A and B are shown apart, each in its own frame.
Chain A
Amino acid sequence: MDNFSILSKTINGIVIFMPKGYVNDLGAENLEHACEEFLSKEMKKVVINFSEIQYINSIGASIFTGIVQKIAEHDGMLCFTNMKKVHSDVFEMLGITRHVKVFKEEKDAVNFLKESD
């Protein structure tokens, strides 16, 4: 059984990803491809809910820079939510949190993105 999976849903044009398990290079690339799919459909508001993420390795985390970059290229917005301290520390180390909005809860991110219209 794979240690990684992604659930996604949309609320009012906002894409919410809920990755689960271990974010390594393959997991992060899956997430990147899923983002690209939605971006190609002009759905540019993205939330990644980390509540089900158990572990992230450095390769997986650094692939997030690609996700950030692609969303920025589409003039989109990216929010992270429900992050464990250790995961936000890793993204901080990699300088990724400078380019995303981080919220404690998913609903906070959704409200923020709704209001940003």
Chain B
Amino acid sequence: MPLRALTEKEFFNRKEELAELYLRALETEKGNAQSLYISGPRGIGKTELLKQLFNHLFWGQDKIAPFYYSVNSAILSVQNFSRDYLTRFICQRLASEKKESALAYLEGLSMESLTAMLEERKAAWALEMLDRFSQSREPMDSLRIALNAPYQSILSTGMPVVVIIDEFQRLKHLNIEERPEPSLVSVFEMTLSSKKAPHIITGNQAEMQEMPVTGGLAKIDLQPLRIEDSTLLFSFLLDAYGLTMDLTQNALLNHLGGNPFYLRCIAKTAGLKKKSGEKDLWMAYVSEITGGSIYLYWTAVLKNFFPKLGIRRNVLEVINKVYHTGEPLTQQRISKAFSLSDKDTEIITGALYNAGFISGEFGVLKAPADRVLIDFVDCLYTREIQGRSYRDIEKQMLEKTSGAKGKGLSFEMTIPMMKDAELIAAQCIEQIGKNLHFNQEVTGQLQMAVIEACINAIEHSKGEERKIYLTVEFIDGILELSIESSGREFVSKESGEPFLGKEIKEGINRGWGITIMKNFADSVSFEKTERGTKVVMVKSVGISAKNSKEDSKSGG
């Protein structure tokens, strides 16, 4: 249902833009309206604005007939596109006369059914148009008839038409018998210049900018939502999940850059988890960019522009370089940095620019303003190129974005793998437990768990770096212990669980270490890291009564 739009209540903060477009559309009646191109980054709400405009014109007045068309990437042969465009136009044009929404939303109508319907309605102008279309032999003739249909209908009926086209950039892929003909889109030049049937078009900003056909159009830049509007929208979205929170000066909302798509994604993830603390929102954000709708959206864009698997690694390396070099880059520098031919660099950077991953339309490449996109790429790069785990990414992102680390305590220790090295770690935990007033039983459990993790680290790093890296972090009553070492064979790539070595499987005395860790910690995860393998144990730590009293003293 291409015209299904958000309800007026859900459609936030684009009232001014909508009003402006609506008034411009009404100018069509005077015969002096100008075609428009709406520009804006991905997710900013261009499509929704067009749908809202269509609905307002369709239901709000009867002097102008609106026609909405979203170019479908599966319908790009000239023959199919022309047929689809024409049939949809005729249906919507007729629907606007008696406000028949069912007819406006009609999908997949055959030419025969349409003819029968037109005969029944005695729509002579449309029948004549359809007849000419059926008789056309050349694809170009069919395309011209379809594109001129709005104008022809005005001549026949006197009713002005506003044509609204979304995903306009896809038209550059129009083809005849599967032969791409980028020049076909120039056929639109004449229709776009019509003052009686003005067009309002939008699509992918970077690609649209490169299409000569948009050059002569008036342009409206759709701006990101202001922070107060972002706050209103986000509150409204959380409210739908029964969540309320104070969003004043919320750093995440600022980070999302007023992008309604991002706001909706984060609100949905946080809403489904029924959590709305500041840290929960950041967790929802991390979840979104590492595997949620935002992740799926951007990976789909990336795959669409780089369908060949082999090139995607290079692509990620290039994006990372552009994002983190700290200065704009030329194509020559990228070629040199990655030993790419100039042609390959041109292909990669051109596609990245069109996909919206990098900016710089005059060949000096730089990161876009979209911080969410940069974070998404950082996560993808960390996982796919550096081979680091989700947990590392999550931690890195949370540290970067929320400054959570600064609120807790962190201890780090490097222990050489000598005899009974695990006791050094255990003693360390004992002292941390004393300093932070953990219950003795909890400290004992943590010691047992850390001993087992260290023994595993020692067993599985034969012949490699002989060190154990122990990190203890304590935030908000949660203790996280990580024991990292070299030795990559310990964790299964598929399951994330540790392998049981031969000696463990055969010997009756081994294999209990992991059971002990899992029993004494709330969660245990095994991760592959740049260094090798990391065991992360998380435990909610009870604080002794003594500590509670001290806390209340210092607090009071």
Contact = CB atoms under 8 A, between A and B. Distances in A.
Contacts of A57: 422, 448, 451-452, 455, 513
A22 B423 contact: yes
B447 A58 contact: no
A34 B191 CA distance: 99
B515 interface: yes
Interface string B431-471: 00000000001001101100110010000000000000000
Contact of A89 (B426, B447, B519): B519
Interface stretch (A39-47, A60-68, A70-78): A60-68
B452 A55 contact: no
Contacts of A24: 420
Given A85-B441, A85-B444, A86-B444, A3 B423 contact: yes
B333 interface: no
B510 A55 contact: no
Contacts of A25: 509
Contact of A58 (B426, B445, B516): B516
A84 B444 contact: yes
Contact of A22 (B420, B445, B509, B512): B420
A55 B448 CA distance: 7
A94 interface: yes
A59 interface: yes
A62 B448 contact: no
A58 B507 CA distance: 12
B348 to A, nearest CB: 52
Interface in B208-232: none
B445 to A, nearest CB: 6
A55 B447 contact: yes
Given A86-B441, A93-B516, A58 B452 contact: yes
B447 A62 contact: no
A93 B444 contact: no
Contacts of A56: 448
Given A55-B451, A89-B519, A61 B441 contact: no
A96 to B, nearest CB: 11
A14 interface: no
Contacts of A61: 512
Interface residues of B, number: 21
A94 B451 contact: no
Interface in B497-546: 508-510, 512-513, 515-516, 519-520
Given A58-B512, A58-B516, A3 B441 contact: no
A59 B515 contact: no
B519 A3 contact: no
A86 B448 contact: yes
A42 B451 CA distance: 36
B484 to A, nearest CB: 19
A68 B519 CA distance: 23
Binding site secondary structure of chain A:
helix
Contacts of B426: 55
A70 to B, nearest CB: 14
Contacts of B510: 58-59, 62
A62 B420 contact: no
A94 B448 CA distance: 14
Contacts of A63: 509
Q: Indicate the member of B444, B445, B515 with the most A CB atoms within 10 Å.
A: B444
Contacts of B516: 58, 90, 93
B481 to A, nearest CB: 16
Contact of B423 (A55, A59, A85, A86): A55
B508 A3 contact: no
Contact of B512 (A62, A85, A89): A62
Interface in A1-38: 3, 22, 24-25
Contact of A93 (B420, B508, B515): B515
A44 to B, nearest CB: 24
Most buried by B among A25, A58, A63: A58
Given A55-B423, A57-B452, A57-B455, A86 B512 contact: no
Most buried by B among A3, A62, A65: A62
A59 B513 CA distance: 8
Contacts of B509: 25, 59, 62-63
Nearest to A29: B509
B498 to A, nearest CB: 13
A93 B517 CA distance: 11
Task: Return the 9 tightest CB-CB contacts between A and B, nearest first.
Answer: A86-B444, A58-B512, A62-B509, A58-B513, A57-B451, A59-B509, A58-B516, A85-B441, A3-B420
Interface of A: 3, 22, 24-25, 55-59, 61-63, 65, 84-86, 89-90, 93-94
Given A55-B448, A86-B445, 11 more contacts: A22-B420, A24-B420, A55-B426, A59-B509, A59-B512, A62-B509, A65-B508, A85-B441, A86-B441, A86-B447, A86-B448
